[in-house]
Structure 1
Amino acid sequence: MVVDDGPGSLRAGCCMNEPMWIVFEVSGTIELSSHLDVSSYKTIDGRGQRIKLTHNGIRLKECEHVIICNLEFEGGIGDEIDAIEIKPNSKHIWIDRCSLKDYKDGLIDITHQSTFITISRCHFSNQDKVMLIGASPLHIGDRCIFVTIHHCFFDGTRQRHPRVRFAKVHLYNNYTSDWGIYAVCASVEAEIYSQCNIYEAGQRKEAFKYLTEKAADKEEASTGSIISDDDLFMDDTQSGLLEPICSSFHPSQHYETWTVMSATNELKHALQHCTGWQDVPRPPGE
C-alpha cells in the first residue's frame, strides 16, 4: 500500500504551489481518504510503475496545465464520487493512457466552464456513466467548453461516451462497443464532430442519441448536433444520426492539423490492446 498523505506522498506533491513532475519509485495502490485536489502545473506520471487510485478520485479545481498519465482508477466508494472531476474553470488538461472503472457515479466529468481538455488512449470498462460534459442546462457558461477525445476504448460501458451539453467535442479514432443505452448523446446546444470512430453495438443498436432540454437563457428547448465523418458502424449498428441543427463547429477552428487513421478492424484491434495503463518505462532522466 502506498501512503495517501505526508512528506513525499502523491497528495503532498499535488498541493504544492510550484510546477512539479510527480513520478513514483514503487508500484502500489493508494486508498484515497478524500478527493485528491491537484494544483496548476502538475504532471502525475505513472510510467515505470503500476499505480492504482481507489476509494476516492482526483479533483481538478480552478487549475490549469495538468497532465495525468498511465494510472489506474478503480473502486470509488461514494455515490457522488467520480474518478476524475474537472471543475470549475480548469483548462489545458490532458488525461492520457489511464484505465478507469467501477465508480458509483461517473468516471470523468468536465463541467462548470472547464475547457481545452484532451482525453486520449484511455480504457473505460465496468461502468454505467462514463463521461459527462456539461452538467446542467442551467450552466450556460459551459458554451465555452471544448474537448478532444481520441484513441480511447469504451469497453462494454453503459452510457455517456460522452453525454454532452453546450460544449464542442471532437471525437476521433475511438472504439465504442456493446453499450447499454447509447454510445454518444447530444443534448442542449452540444456540437459533436465524430470522425473515424468505430461503433459496434450489442443489444442496443443505435449509436447516437439526442435529448431535448431548455437552456436557462432560452425560451424554447433544443437538442444538440452530431456530425459523423467516416465513422465505421459495425455489424448491425445503426447510427441514429439526424441532420445537424445549426452546427458550424469544425475541429480546425481549434487546431490546424491532427493525425487521423481510417476506422478499420486494424484500428479496433490496436485500441483493444494499446489503451489504458501500459507497462512502459519512465523516460531516462525524468
Structure 2
Amino acid sequence: MAMASLPYADVDWSLRALAGRAEGFGRFSIGGLDGPLYHVTTLADDGPGSLRDGCRQKEPLWIVFEVSGTIELSSYLSVSSYKTIDGRGQRIKFSGKGLRLKECEHVIICNLEFEGGRGPDVDAIQIKPKSRHIWIDRCSLQDYDDGLIDITRESTDITVSRCHFSRHDKTMLIGADPTHIEDRCIRVTIHHCFFDGTRQRHPRVRFGKVHLYNNYTRNWGIYAVCPSVESQIYSQCNIYEAGQKTVTFKYLTEKAADQEESRSGCLRSEGDLFLNEAQPCLLEEVDGESMFHPSEYYLTWTMEAPSDALKEILQLCTGWQSIPRPPEQAVLAP
C-alpha cells in the first residue's frame, strides 16, 4: 500500500514536529509548541493532573497522556489558546459531553476518540465563537446527540484531516444560521477524511469557503455535501460512493439576513469520483465568478487522483491510530 500518498507522513518522528504542519486553511496552527509538557495522569473530569485542568491554563502547553481510557465529561471542556491535546501513545475516549473551543486560537487536537455525547446541542467538538488557527487531526468521532464537529460564529482558518466519522446523523456543520452574516469570514479545509455511513452534513455549509480534497464519503443517508446560503465549496479528487441514497450534492436555499433574495451556495467539483450511481447533480454556474480557488490562499496541498488504493488508505489510516508517542527530542542516527 502506497503510504507515501498520505500527507505530513513524517510528523511522528518527534513530538512537536506536528506543529505548523497542517495543510490548508489551518496551516498556521502551532498549538502549544512554545510551552512545556503537561502530563494528564488521571481520567477524572477535573482536578490536578486532569485534562480539564491543563486546558484551562493560560500558558501554552503541549498536553500528553500517561493513562488510557474514557474521560466522562459532565460539561463541555473548554480549551484555551495555544494548546496541543496530543493523544498519540495512549487511547483516550471522550463521552458525556465534548470539547469547546471558544474565542481561542492555535489549538491542535490529535489522535483522540469521541463517542456517546448526550444532551441537547451536545457536539463532540464545538468551535465558536471567533476561534482561529485550529487543526483537528486523526480523530474518531461517532454517536453524539447533535453534531460531531461544528464550526460557527466567525471561527475560521481551520483544517480537519484524517478523521473517521461513523454512526451519526448531523456530521459536520459549518455556519449555523442564515442570520449569522459575519460567518462570511469562515474558511475551512477538510482532507483525507472518511465519512463512513454517516447520514448528512459532510459538511453542510453556510457562507463559508470550504476546500474538500481526497476524502472518502460512502453510504450517506440523505446527501453527502450541502451548499447553502452564499457558501463556496471546492470539491477536489474526493470519492463519493452512494448507498441507497444517490444524491451527492444537495443545494438548500436560504436568505441572508442582509439580503432581499434567497440563495443557495456554489459547489465546484474537480476530479471527483462518483461510484455506485452517485449523482453529482451539479447546478449550472451559480455566481461562478465568485467561486474561490484554494491557490488564492495557500500554494501547496498533498492530493492524488481518487482510486481504490486511496479508498483502502483512508479506511485504514483515518481516525485514532495505535501509534507510540514520539520522543520529545528526536534521536538522530549515528
Matches within 5 A, 1:117-196: 117-196=158-237
- For 1:199 and 1:244, the matched residues in 2 are separated by 21
- For 1:248 and 1:14, the matched residues in 2 are separated by 38
1:271 paired residue number: 314
- For 2:292 and 2:113, the matched residues in 1 are separated by 33
- For 1:178 and 1:112, the matched residues in 2 are separated by 30
**How far 1:245 sits from its partner (Å)?**
1.2
- For 2:286 and 2:112, the matched residues in 1 are separated by 38
Is 1:78 the equivalent of 2:113? no
Q: Residue 238 of structure 1 is aligned with which of 279, 294, 306?
A: 279
1:251 counterpart letter in structure 2:
P
Is 1:281 the equivalent of 2:320? no
Gaps of 5+ in 2: 1-41, 330-334
Q: Is the 8 A contact 2:197 2:221 kept in 1?
A: yes
Matched residue SS, 1:5: coil
2:249 counterpart letter in structure 1:
F
Q: Residue 5 of structure 1 is aligned with which of 25, 40, 46?
A: 46
- For 1:90 and 1:231, the matched residues in 2 are separated by 31
Deviation string, structure 1 residues 93-143 (Cα, Å, up to 9, x no partner) = 000000000001110000000000100000000000000000000000000
1:221 paired residue number: 262
Matches within 5 A, 1:105-120: 105-120=146-161
- For 2:239 and 2:100, the matched residues in 1 are separated by 30
2:302 counterpart letter in structure 1:
T
- For 1:98 and 1:158, the matched residues in 2 are separated by 19
Deviation string, structure 1 residues 68-109 (Cα, Å, up to 9, x no partner) = 000000001112100000000000000000000000111000
- For 1:243 and 1:133, the matched residues in 2 are separated by 23
Matches within 5 A, 1:61-76: 61-76=102-117
1:262 paired residue number: 305
2:178 counterpart letter in structure 1:
P
Gaps of 5+ in 1: none
Deviation string, structure 1 residues 174-223 (Cα, Å, up to 9, x no partner) = 00000000000000000000000000001111100100000000010001
- For 2:137 and 2:128, the matched residues in 1 are separated by 18
Q: Residue 252 of structure 2 is aligned with which of 196, 211, 221?
A: 211
Identity %: 72
**How far 1:248 sits from its partner (Å)?**
2.6
Is 1:43 the equivalent of 2:119? no
User: Structure 1 stretch 50-59 or stretch 246-255: which is displaced more?
Assistant: 246-255
Q: CA RMSD in A?
A: 0.8
Q: TM-score, normalised by structure 2?
A: 0.85
- For 2:328 and 2:129, the matched residues in 1 are separated by 34
- For 1:178 and 1:28, the matched residues in 2 are separated by 30
Aligned length: 286
Matched residue SS, 1:11: helix
Is 1:90 the equivalent of 2:134? no
Q: Is the 8 A contact 2:243 2:276 kept in 1?
A: no
**How far 1:238 sits from its partner (Å)?**
1.0
After TM superposition, the runs of 4+ consecutive aligned structure 1 residues lying more than 6 A away are: none
Matched residue SS, 2:250: strand
**How far 1:235 sits from its partner (Å)?**
2.2
- For 2:324 and 2:157, the matched residues in 1 are separated by 28
Name which structure has the greater RCO, CA cutoff 8 Å, separation 6+: 2
1:249 paired residue number: 292
